[in-house]
Amino acid sequence: MTILSQTLLFNPNSPRKIFRSGASEVPYLRRSMLPGVGCNNVEFNEYPPQVEAPPIDPGRQVVRIGGPVVLLTQTWAYGYFHWLIETLPRLMLVYGHLMADHRMVLVAGSGLTSFMSEYLDLLGLSRQTRTYPIYEQGRHPVIIAPRMLVPAPIPCGCSVPRLLIELRDTLFARLASRGQLDEPRPPDTIVVIRRTDTRSVTNHDEVMQTLRKELGHRLRVTEFCGDSLPRTINLFRAARLVVGPHGAGLSNMIYSARGTPIVEFQMEVPNGCYLALASTLGMPYWGFRVPGATQTGPMQVNVTTLMERVRGALGPGEPL
């Protein structure tokens, strides 16, 4: 996608500092939006590089927007982890501007998944959001606007703690204003994430039965396999422990209290993004590798190993 605009670049490490382009019309090519490269590639999600103004091909869609534009698009943003941990937190740098000026347009990618729509609705931004076929070679549009705000991109697989906490607190406040945020209570739930596609746990029922047998007399053991956004937030807010295979559901740990342990079933060749996230949020990480587990296949969890990790995570003060 090419955007011709005057550009402001908001830096998350220095939120009061704004980088402004000197020209009144500067072309930017958003190369880092293109999919096809895996996670944990920190070279992606860079600032849009300045390029020479390309000619506009005949037949190419030209979109002229009369007011300021916020560019939220980012590599892999259509995936839940990348949306919640890398993309949405960037909004906090410009959220006040968007809420104060409803003429501003939020460009959020080629299309919205159901969870993207739920988040934008809860944040009060649905009416300002626009999507364009930015990923489709030969069909991506040229967008012309008087000003473009670019919240500084967050590298793939990474997070900015201050922005994550601000996003979480904003979502809590918006949910409370709708009367949908449960009253606070001591964490009393073991949340067990169930995946049904890649990295599904073939002995999930055995995992649930073991946890309920060993801990059900003291804690609720609740399965999570996707839910509405309000119920998801409330469930993870009540978590005493989060357990599950490597995957997007673990992103919801941001709604759990600091100090909530995370037990992740890792692949044989592990991916450290949830270890990094847990560390960022001050959550003890008790993940372990499952022999033979891959990125795309199912896995079978050794329940003896699982319970050793769970006991370590809960500590000696938790009766078993």
Residue 168 placed within a domain = no
Work out whether the CA dihedral 307, 310, 311, 312 comes out positive or negative: positive
**197 in the same domain as 142:** no
**pLDDT per position as a tens digit, 131-179:** 877 655 556 677 778 888 888 777 788 888 999 999 999 999 999 999 9
Give Cα separations from 312 to 7, 78, 285, 317 (angstroms).
50, 35, 10, 10
Which domain, by its residues, includes 104? 2-158
**232 in the same domain as 145:** no
In angstroms, the CA 269 to CA 291 distance is: 9
**127 in the same domain as 24:** yes
The model's pTM is: 0.85
Q: Please say whether the beta carbons of 165 and 17 come within 8 A.
A: no
Percent of the chain exceeding pLDDT 90 equals 59
Residue 167 placed within a domain = no
**pLDDT per position as a tens digit, 177-199:** 999 999 998 999 999 999 999 99
Q: Mean pLDDT across the chain, nearest whole number?
A: 83
Helix axis angle for 114-122 and 161-177, nearest 10°, is 70
| Closest to 85 (Cα-Cα) out of 280, 261, 237 | 280
CATH number at residue 280: 3.40.50.360
**148 in the same domain as 34:** yes
**193 in the same domain as 100:** no
**16 in the same domain as 62:** yes
Residue 48 placed within a domain = yes
| Alpha helix stretches (DSSP H) within the chain | 80-81, 88-91, 95-100, 114-122, 161-177, 204-215, 229-237, 273-281, 303-314
**114 in the same domain as 12:** yes
Residue 95 has pLDDT above 80, yes or no: yes
**104 in the same domain as 235:** no
Q: Please say whether the beta carbons of 243 and 211 come within 8 A.
A: yes
**255 in the same domain as 151:** no
